[in-house]
Copies of this chain bind each other. A is one copy, B any other.
Amino acid sequence: MLLEELEELEELKLTCSKDLPDTVRLNGISFSRDNFIVMAGPCAVESYEVTYNIARNLRRFGVKIFRAGAYKPRTSPYSFQGLKEEGLEILKEIKKKSGLHIITEVMEISDIEKVCEAADILQIGSRNMQNFPLLREVGRLNFPVLLKRGAGSTIMELLGACEYIVKEGNEKVILCERGIRTFENLTRNTLDISAIPLLKSMTRLPVVVDPSHACGRSHLVPSLSLAAIAAGSDGLLIEVHSEPSGARSDPNQSLNLCDFEKLMDKLKILAKSLGKKI
């Protein structure tokens, strides 16, 4: 990016950088500076039995928001694309049975309505961070939106994308750092941990971290999660599966239930010493 482009962006008087409430509320859960919200679940919605079993266990460990994709954007059209409507039905059922809130991805304007029926938070994935028509459309809702940073996008571009939503009236935006593309190839992406304090200094919106996509290796996820809370993030979006090696996507980056439980224990200790509630 050239100097002049950056300066141009810095001059933008972004609404998202100043006037927004720093709390995003949904039915009794608040993303705010005093809380630390762990969103966990499998990459994709799988069968009801498998998915519900994961959800039930996560609830037991203290998780309040369940993540799982019904629509999966994949590099190749021949990879598993998600259960789609069937996946949304499974999520509704899990929500009813478990009492967990649901976060799930929406990829297309024409799906927004049905995804909203199953979800408590809409996720805009990293590949769609600059899908401006989609951003504008979710901007017209009064519904929490988690906006993931694109793997090849700068922080200024993330704020620009956020502004597309906020400008339409929806101020319930949660920003998510999920790793950026670099030359390092022992990890899937490089978690830009600096993005947390930077975004916190440039906007009042909640900032969460997806350590699973950031590194792509489950054995690194706990360290990145602890780093995220210490650096000031307001929550996590983690992939957890009851049997990672059998997961229909991203098997290498999902924690198993046992390792996730251990991580939750460590997060609780750290949260306490940082003055945050988990």
Contacts and interface: CB of A to CB of B under 8 A. Distances in A.
Count this chain's copies in the assembly: 4
B163 A77 contact: yes
Contacts of A183: 1, 152, 154, 180-183
Interface residues of A, number: 80
Contacts of A220: 194, 197-198
A230 B229 contact: yes
A187 B2 contact: yes
A188 B109 CA distance: 31
A164 B131 CA distance: 17
A142 interface: no
A160 B76 contact: yes
B190 A190 contact: yes
A164 B77 contact: yes
Interface string A174-213: 0000001111111110111111111001000000000000
A182 B110 CA distance: 35
